[in-house]
A and B are shown apart, each in its own frame.
Chain A
């Protein structure tokens, strides 16, 4: 196919040079007037009306964007959703006029933006090919001459006279792509189109685009979320973020940064920190430079971790916690530490086979069972049926978290298991409590926790502490009652709180604090995704870290501030860190995230 026809006969009168500028975008800004919809009260309405903001509130979709695309360039536009890519494309396609600045196009444009916009699915494929061709500006004669090519490329010979509503979406996309690329335009715009259709057709589409690029020297503009596609096809890239040009230039470099930063937000300082880290990644890191603990699922991860620590060692006590809530493991860690017991999360309905096997091998004498809310009765019954009849200490209640805390505390007091420090953490401070878990295990801390439904009063806590030898109190997280510290001080109990408004900061602080508390020269640093704090993946972490003199660091991979904090932490403590251990499945922290952290050790 070589139809070098002109479809929009607007501006191709002059002879063009090989290195001609095909698209020139100069200082383009686009401001939308959005009707304000979030008016909740008449008062707001009146205020907005008085300020004349009722009907128009400006939204800047593009802010002073400039770039040039030369003949033969394959130019990529990347950016997260809502960054202004599509607006830019619409301006280039000429359907939208920029509020400020100019966009000059030199030549004809074939838009592949959302294929098949002009189809009427009631019509047959044949009728639609002509209709769509007309709308794309092809002359009738041209369509007639190339009809066979269009049909052959779309592979719809047998369905020509069938209404297109009976077509699959892939078939519709094929017809659309075929009609749109039958012509050789000067500029081809490709907007996420390659994501439709089956694999074979995607390949075919890409080949056709490559053919247009290589044999006809067509200038191509590609918009995609798919970094790979951009990397494979483009020679130049612009990265648009929140309507501004973030980076413009060489594909490989920008794609690398985009992969690490794309779609993530944070302060400019954090961003600079992460970019600096990325720029260090010139040589690949050998895959065995850090270790990963990951099982088939979250529960298996715990079994894996335990089999590393208790490989040769026997254990006579085991703590089993219901995976339904994190608080079970938080409450369990102190007791488990006292007994030097591994902590296993379990599903509520059964004990997994691998855990059952592990228990059968070690035949522990005592099983501590933690189940706040009494939801895992099936799992508990399963344990009761174990052949060697271990003693089962059942800490399940239907009552409040605080009641269960007190029950566990009383049990530990009776057996004289506790250390000298107690910990207070609110049920809502989920990541903080898990980050503190290694400390709980190591120091054999009783934990006092409560939730919104039955909040713990400082006096209640003090009354419990008075009955014991405990002289120190550590509070993790911002939510726990702020009267506790004062009251404790008055009654001679030392209290410290480690908390921050930001969860990210709090997690790093807790991790850091544990590093300072622990005098061991070499520590393993366990790292898990903050997202993972919601899952049973990390419920074993406390026991694992306590055994390796380590601490647990949470990184929120969607937040640059958190990434920067974690990078700084690793870099600051590199002398003390012997090894990085990543907890949780592949999905938790990406390879790049892991590499970045590892490089801070070098």
Chain B
């Protein structure tokens, strides 16, 4: 066997493992539910209805046009990141029986979890389209930037997921902390309120919140119909690559010791 074909077949093998793991997660998620995959559409819609009811009646109204659409865009993207990182975080611990028995590329587990969350997100795009139709928000050319955004968020979530997966093997505390952190992060990201409602210093701090950039990017292309500039793209890319680099380095450095702790 020539080295090139060797490499190729190894990649094929890993891809088959990833697809098998993702399809397993899908089957398990929708097994025995009547509506099945439709829940991935229904869920964000229902969440949006509840949240917009709460935020538009109980709290001071923010002057936001098409508030439900504003909400669902931020919410689904944030859910993508939070589900992806949470899934990836426990993926190594959960596959302990496998890791202990079979020689297998350990990174496949977090990758498959992040991929699974991404697919769920893609399904929930149906809900977003429905809301856009309802509020008669016409899609613009800017929406073509969506795949790029998904790449950013995927890479960013994967990076975080790898980092968390590696850390949680050694310190299970990470799992508990991350749940709380995600909640805090959700409120620190302008999902339910306009960023303008914040105090000036908070606005400045927002520049360091990657999710703020991704959510804004999403709203620009889907709600406001503006094209993200080069600077914005570079910021999003930098966060994604930074997270990936950190995640991969930490994961790689510790992967060999996982078996001793899972």
- In the complex the two chains form, is B101's CB within 8 Å of A113's CB? yes
Question: Which residues in chain B, 1-59, are within 8 Å of chain A measured between CB atoms?
Answer: 1, 6, 9-10, 12-13, 16-17, 19-21, 24, 27-28, 31
- Contact mask B249-262 → A, CB, 8 Å, 1/0? 00000001001100
User: Cα distance A64–B239 when bound, in Å?
Assistant: 47
Nearest chain-B residue to A128 (Cβ)? B24
User: Cα distance A90–B256 when bound, in Å?
Assistant: 13
Nearest Cβ on chain B to A147's Cβ, whole angstroms: 14
| A9 CB within 8 Å of chain B | yes
CB within 8 A of B13: which of A32, A127, A137?
A137
User: Cα distance A135–B109 when bound, in Å?
Assistant: 11
Contact residues in B for A131 (Cβ distance below 8 Å): 20-21, 24
- Segment from A91-99, A150-158, A572-580 that makes contact with B: A91-99
- In the complex the two chains form, is A135's CB within 8 Å of B97's CB? no
Contact residues in B for A111 (Cβ distance below 8 Å): 101-103
Contact residues in B for A12 (Cβ distance below 8 Å): 1
Contact residues in B for A120 (Cβ distance below 8 Å): 24, 28
| A391 CB within 8 Å of chain B | no
- In the complex the two chains form, is A123's CB within 8 Å of B27's CB? yes
- In the complex the two chains form, is B28's CB within 8 Å of A117's CB? no
Nearest Cβ on chain B to A571's Cβ, whole angstroms: 48
Contact residues in B for A6 (Cβ distance below 8 Å): 1
User: Cα distance A139–B5 when bound, in Å?
Assistant: 14
| B98 CB within 8 Å of chain A | yes
User: Cα distance A590–B100 when bound, in Å?
Assistant: 37
Contact residues in B for A113 (Cβ distance below 8 Å): 101
- In the complex the two chains form, is B9's CB within 8 Å of A9's CB? yes
Nearest Cβ on chain A to B129's Cβ, whole angstroms: 31
- In the complex the two chains form, is B16's CB within 8 Å of A139's CB? yes
CB within 8 A of B102: which of A33, A95, A139?
A95
| B104 CB within 8 Å of chain A | yes
Question: Which residues in chain A, 109-159, are within 8 Å of chain B measured between CB atoms?
Answer: 109, 111, 113-114, 117-118, 120, 122-123, 127, 130-131, 134-137, 139-140
A90 in contact with B100 given A9-B6, A13-B1, A96-B259 (CB within 8 Å): yes
Contact residues in A for B31 (Cβ distance below 8 Å): 122
Nearest Cβ on chain A to B217's Cβ, whole angstroms: 35
User: Cα distance A442–B50 when bound, in Å?
Assistant: 94
Nearest Cβ on chain B to A533's Cβ, whole angstroms: 42
User: Cα distance A85–B227 when bound, in Å?
Assistant: 62
Contact residues in B for A33 (Cβ distance below 8 Å): 260
| A374 CB within 8 Å of chain B | no
- In the complex the two chains form, is A118's CB within 8 Å of B103's CB? no
- In the complex the two chains form, is A95's CB within 8 Å of B16's CB? no
| A8 CB within 8 Å of chain B | yes
CB within 8 A of A140: which of B16, B27, B98, B102?
B16
User: Cα distance A136–B103 when bound, in Å?
Assistant: 8
- In the complex the two chains form, is B12's CB within 8 Å of A139's CB? yes
Residue among A8, A90, A135 with the highest chain B CB neighbour number at 10 A: A135
| B99 CB within 8 Å of chain A | yes
Number of residues from A at the complex interface, CB < 8 A: 31
| Contact-size category for B | 20 to 34
- In the complex the two chains form, is A118's CB within 8 Å of B98's CB? yes
Contact residues in A for B17 (Cβ distance below 8 Å): 134-135, 137
Nearest chain-B residue to A131 (Cβ)? B20
Contact residues in B for A127 (Cβ distance below 8 Å): 24, 27
Nearest chain-B residue to A189 (Cβ)? B101
Nearest chain-B residue to A109 (Cβ)? B103
Nearest chain-A residue to B7 (Cβ)? A9
- Contact mask B208-227 → A, CB, 8 Å, 1/0? 00000000000000000000
Contact residues in B for A9 (Cβ distance below 8 Å): 1, 6, 9-10
Nearest Cβ on chain B to A286's Cβ, whole angstroms: 48
- In the complex the two chains form, is A130's CB within 8 Å of B20's CB? yes
Nearest Cβ on chain B to A209's Cβ, whole angstroms: 18
The secondary-structure label for the interface of chain B is: helix
A135 in contact with B104 given A9-B1, A122-B28, A123-B24 (CB within 8 Å): yes
- In the complex the two chains form, is A94's CB within 8 Å of B103's CB? yes
User: Cα distance A482–B10 when bound, in Å?
Assistant: 76
Residue among A97, A111, A131, A134 with the highest chain B CB neighbour number at 10 A: A134
User: Cα distance A94–B105 when bound, in Å?
Assistant: 11
Contact residues in A for B101 (Cβ distance below 8 Å): 93, 95, 111, 113-114, 117
Nearest Cβ on chain B to A125's Cβ, whole angstroms: 13
Nearest chain-A residue to B8 (Cβ)? A9
Residue among B9, B31, B103, B104 with the highest chain A CB neighbour number at 10 A: B103
- In the complex the two chains form, is B102's CB within 8 Å of A136's CB? yes
Contact residues in A for B12 (Cβ distance below 8 Å): 139
User: Cα distance A509–B260 when bound, in Å?
Assistant: 48
User: Cα distance A358–B104 when bound, in Å?
Assistant: 70
Nearest chain-B residue to A96 (Cβ)? B259
Nearest Cβ on chain B to A515's Cβ, whole angstroms: 55
- In the complex the two chains form, is A95's CB within 8 Å of B24's CB? no
Contact residues in B for A117 (Cβ distance below 8 Å): 97-98, 100-102
Question: Which residues in chain A, 1-15, are within 8 Å of chain B measured between CB atoms?
Answer: 6, 8-9, 12-13
Nearest Cβ on chain A to B157's Cβ, whole angstroms: 24
Contact residues in B for A93 (Cβ distance below 8 Å): 101-103
Question: Which residues in chain B, 64-111, are within 8 Å of chain A measured between CB atoms?
Answer: 97-104
User: Cα distance A469–B103 when bound, in Å?
Assistant: 80
CB within 8 A of B28: which of A13, A109, A123, A136?
A123
- In the complex the two chains form, is B103's CB within 8 Å of A134's CB? no
Nearest Cβ on chain A to B145's Cβ, whole angstroms: 34
Nearest Cβ on chain B to A156's Cβ, whole angstroms: 19
Residue among B24, B102, B260 with the highest chain A CB neighbour number at 10 A: B102
Nearest Cβ on chain A to B28's Cβ, whole angstroms: 6
Nearest chain-B residue to A6 (Cβ)? B1
User: Cα distance A462–B173 when bound, in Å?
Assistant: 67
User: Cα distance A515–B255 when bound, in Å?
Assistant: 66
Nearest Cβ on chain A to B207's Cβ, whole angstroms: 39
Question: Which residues in chain B, 153-191, are within 8 Å of chain A measured between CB atoms?
Answer: none
- In the complex the two chains form, is A134's CB within 8 Å of B16's CB? yes
CB within 8 A of A95: which of B6, B13, B28, B259?
B259
Nearest Cβ on chain A to B94's Cβ, whole angstroms: 10
Contact residues in B for A130 (Cβ distance below 8 Å): 20
- In the complex the two chains form, is B100's CB within 8 Å of A95's CB? yes
User: Cα distance A109–B17 when bound, in Å?
Assistant: 18
User: Cα distance A134–B12 when bound, in Å?
Assistant: 11
14 CB-based A-B contacts, threshold 8 Å: A6-B1, A9-B1, A9-B6, A95-B99, A111-B101, A111-B103, A117-B101, A120-B24, A123-B28, A127-B27, A135-B98, A135-B102, A139-B9, A140-B16
Write the residues of chain A forming the contact surface with B, with a CB cutoff of 8 angstroms.
6, 8-9, 12-13, 32-33, 90, 93-97, 109, 111, 113-114, 117-118, 120, 122-123, 127, 130-131, 134-137, 139-140
> Besides A93-B101, A118-B98, A135-B98, 12 other CB < 8 A contacts?
A13-B1, A32-B260, A33-B260, A90-B100, A95-B259, A111-B101, A117-B102, A122-B28, A127-B24, A137-B13, A137-B17, A140-B16
Instruction: Give the 5 A-B CB pairs with smallest separation, nearest first.
Output: A134-B20, A94-B103, A117-B101, A117-B97, A113-B101
